[in-house]
Amino acid sequence: MLERVLSLRSRNSQINEEGDEDDESKTRGKHVSFAMRATNYISKIGFLWPCLLFIFFLILADIFVHYRNIMCHSSSFSSSSRDSFYSRFNFFGIDDGLDSDFGLLGVPWCRSKYGKTVEWTSKDLLKGLEEFVPIYETRPIKNNMYGMGFDHSFGLWFISRWLKPDLMIESGAFKGHSTWVLRQANPDTPIVSLSPRHPEKYLKKGPAYVDGNCTYFAGKDFVDFGSVNWESVLKKHGVTDPNRVLIFFDDHQNELKRLKQALKAGFRHLVFEDNYDTGTGDHYSFRQICDQFYIRGGGHSCFKDGDEARLRKKRRKFWEKAVDIGELCGEGEVWWGVKGQMRDDFNHSNKAISFAEHFQNSRFVESVLDVYWELPPVAGPSLTHQTRYDPARVSSPIVEDGRFGFFQRIGLGKFETSVFNGYTQMVYLQVSK
Ligand SMILES: C[S@@+](CC[C@H](N)C(=O)[O-])C[C@H]1O[C@@H](n2cnc3c(N)ncnc32)[C@H](O)[C@@H]1O
């Protein structure tokens, strides 16, 4: 409760800082005279009823302010989307901090060996966002359906620019949008790109990006990441230390398999684009692997009449990618991975695994994990209008709900909603054997 009061308080002060909302001082005079009249009244008729009345007014005022905030911030909505959006918020009660908890469940994450975390702060992320918006506007592929949207483009750009590697490797290029993002982050750094279909093939049909300083293992030259002779590739690029290389995976392969292959080659800095939540996605992900009973927010109950089932059912109505208990649990109440499956290669392979194997996998991951950092969504859903991922299953957004002025000022408001719809917990890992 205290946490909630504090978070509401800091939220209000943020809003006032940016001048998005009424100046509190303008209304203070009214509150004082109301308080005086109330005191006079109390002295006449005793305490109980006036106290109850006062509490009632406070609740009414809270609901009014809450409602007004959402409606003001959503002024560009059509009335029907505004209604459904408002109900999406209102449904979960008066707490507009949908990211604050997930009922009893919380948000799972992977434990690193020594609790080390990333160097960058939320301030760095905010500053980065301001810089990235005008860069993203110049992207050659405006409609990147099936590829990365704004959130992950920003995450990849931010991480690779921060790390300044000597070589950037990507697995899964599609039309080349992520290659372009890597290039914006580090204009002079060589790239190695692996993809079964060469991005230049897409040029025939529309926009695509082919980089001039990139070695493509694509088309007839395609080699899977696990089969590349990395020692020789690094040597060709004059890179002696694999620790100076950043690997970006967007190839929808089992992430445990990719981790083992990367470790074997001595790579330490890995970014995975699609870090699917338990019960979703076409490959086994770190989110899924680390979803264990001993992690807060981890482990699930398939009990149909339980709290989790009720909560999931409610949330499923409002967020397209939320999963209800029927989607989460397979036969025999198996919930880990996707219905007990360890999926791989765009779900072309979906081997069933036991809970013991799943648990062993998480122990292995933890044993090599120095840092686990999930990119937060760039902004809260009241700002981006995204309707897909459940904000309660992700970390707090970089631009929190309510910071409409800031969202507009840095130019995020001009993008189409669709660019904010592809968030799947992109993750940065630092690993070592
Ligand atoms: C989601 S798309 C990548 C999107 C891209 N990164 C972007 O931002 O636009 C996945 C890509 O992985 C490619 N792919 C499939 N199997 C692969 C493999 N084994 N290794 C590398 N890429 C693979 C697919 O052909 C496809 O181009």
10 Å CB burial of residue 111 (0-12, 13-18, 19+) is middle
Evaluated on CA atoms 267, 273, 277, 281, the torsion sign reads negative
Q: For residue 296, what pLDDT is reported? A: 82
Q: What is the 3-state secondary structure (H, E, C) of the chain?
A: CHHHHHHHHHHHHHHHHCCCCCCHHHHHHHHHHHHHHHHHHHHHHCCHHHHHHHHHHHHHHHHHHHHHHHHHHCCCCCHHHHHHHHHHHHCCCCCCCCCCCECECCCCCCCCCCCCCCCCCHHHHHHHHHHHHHHHHCCCCCCCCCCCCHHHHHHHHHHHHHHCCCEEEEECCCCCHHHHHHHHHCCCCCEEEEECCCHHHHHHCCCCCCCCCEEEEEHHHCCCHHHCCHHHHHHHCCCCCHHHEEEEECCCCCHHHHHHHHHHCCCCEEEECCCCCCCCCCCCCHHHHHCCCCCCCCCCCCCCCCHHHHHHHHHHHHCCCCCCHHHHCCCCCCCHHHHCEEEECCCCEEEECCHHHHHHHHHHHHHHEEEEEECCCCECHHHHCCCCCCHHHCCCCCECCCCHHHHHHCCHHHCCHHHHCCCCCCEEEEECC
Q: Which of 145, 148, 174, 197 to mutate to test the pocket of ligand 1 (most atoms within 8 A of CB)?
A: 174
Q: Provide, rounded to the nearest whole percent, the portion of the chain with pLDDT above 70.
A: 76
Q: How confident is the model at residue 57 (pLDDT cuts 50, 70, 90)?
A: low
Q: Which atom of ligand 1 is nearest to the CA of 146?
A: 1
* Stretch among 85-89, 264-268, 327-331 having the lowest mean pLDDT: 85-89
Centre of ligand 1 from the C-alpha of residue 404, in Å: 35
CATH architecture, range 122-431 = 3-Layer(aba) Sandwich (3.40)
Question: Which tokens belong to 227?
Answer: 């089969």
Q: What are the sequence ranges of the domains in the chain?
A: 122-431
Centre of ligand 1 from the C-alpha of residue 107, in Å: 28
Q: Which atom of ligand 1 is nearest to the CA of 178?
A: 8
On whether the CB atoms of residues 271 and 426 are closer than 8 A, the answer is yes
List the residue whose alpha carbon is closest to atom 19 of ligand 1.
224
Residue 38: alpha-carbon gap to chain centroid:
47
Q: How confident is the model at residue 18 (pLDDT cuts 50, 70, 90)?
A: very low
pLDDT in tens, 352-399: 999 999 999 999 999 999 999 999 999 999 999 999 999 889 989 999
Residue 45: alpha-carbon gap to chain centroid:
55
Residues having CB closer than 6 A to ligand 1 are: 144, 146-148, 171-175, 177-178, 194-197, 224-225, 250-253
The one-letter amino acid code at 320 reads E
Pick 378 or 75 by higher pLDDT: 378
Average pLDDT score over the chain: 82
* Residues in CB range of 27: below 8 A, 6 or more apart: none
Q: How confident is the model at residue 166 (pLDDT cuts 50, 70, 90)?
A: very high
Q: Rounded CA gap, 176 and 196, in Å?
A: 12
Question: Which tokens belong to 248?
Answer: 């970006």
Q: Is residue 53 scored above 50 in pLDDT?
A: yes
Centre of ligand 1 from the C-alpha of residue 155, in Å: 18
Q: How confident is the model at residue 14 (pLDDT cuts 50, 70, 90)?
A: very low
Q: Rounded CA gap, 35 and 28, in Å?
A: 11
Centre of ligand 1 from the C-alpha of residue 172, in Å: 3
On whether the CB atoms of residues 168 and 188 are closer than 8 A, the answer is no
Q: Rounded CA gap, 299 and 288, in Å?
A: 10
Q: Is residue 27 scored above 50 in pLDDT?
A: no
Centre of ligand 1 from the C-alpha of residue 132, in Å: 24
Q: Rounded CA gap, 326 and 344, in Å?
A: 22
Q: Is residue 266 scored above 60 in pLDDT?
A: yes
List the residue whose alpha carbon is closest to atom 15 of ligand 1.
251
Q: Is residue 34 scored above 70 in pLDDT?
A: no
Q: How confident is the model at residue 283 (pLDDT cuts 50, 70, 90)?
A: very high
Q: For residue 398, what pLDDT is reported? A: 97
Q: For residue 104, what pLDDT is reported? A: 54
Q: Rounded CA gap, 74 and 408, in Å?
A: 12
10 Å CB burial of residue 228 (0-12, 13-18, 19+) is middle
* Residue for token pair 């690029």: 237
Q: Which atom of ligand 1 is nearest to the CA of 253?
A: 19
Q: Rounded CA gap, 172 and 66, in Å?
A: 43
Centre of ligand 1 from the C-alpha of residue 295, in Å: 31
Q: Which of 250, 276, 347 to mutate to test the pocket of ligand 1 (most atoms within 8 A of CB)?
A: 250
Q: How confident is the model at residue 6 (pLDDT cuts 50, 70, 90)?
A: very low
Q: Rounded CA gap, 177 and 307, in Å?
A: 42
* Stretch among 29-38, 285-294, 335-344 having the lowest mean pLDDT: 29-38
* Residue for token pair 């992320």: 125
Q: Dihedral, CA atoms, 293, 296, 298, 299, nearest 10 degrees?
A: 30
Q: Which atom of ligand 1 is nearest to the CA of 273?
A: 6
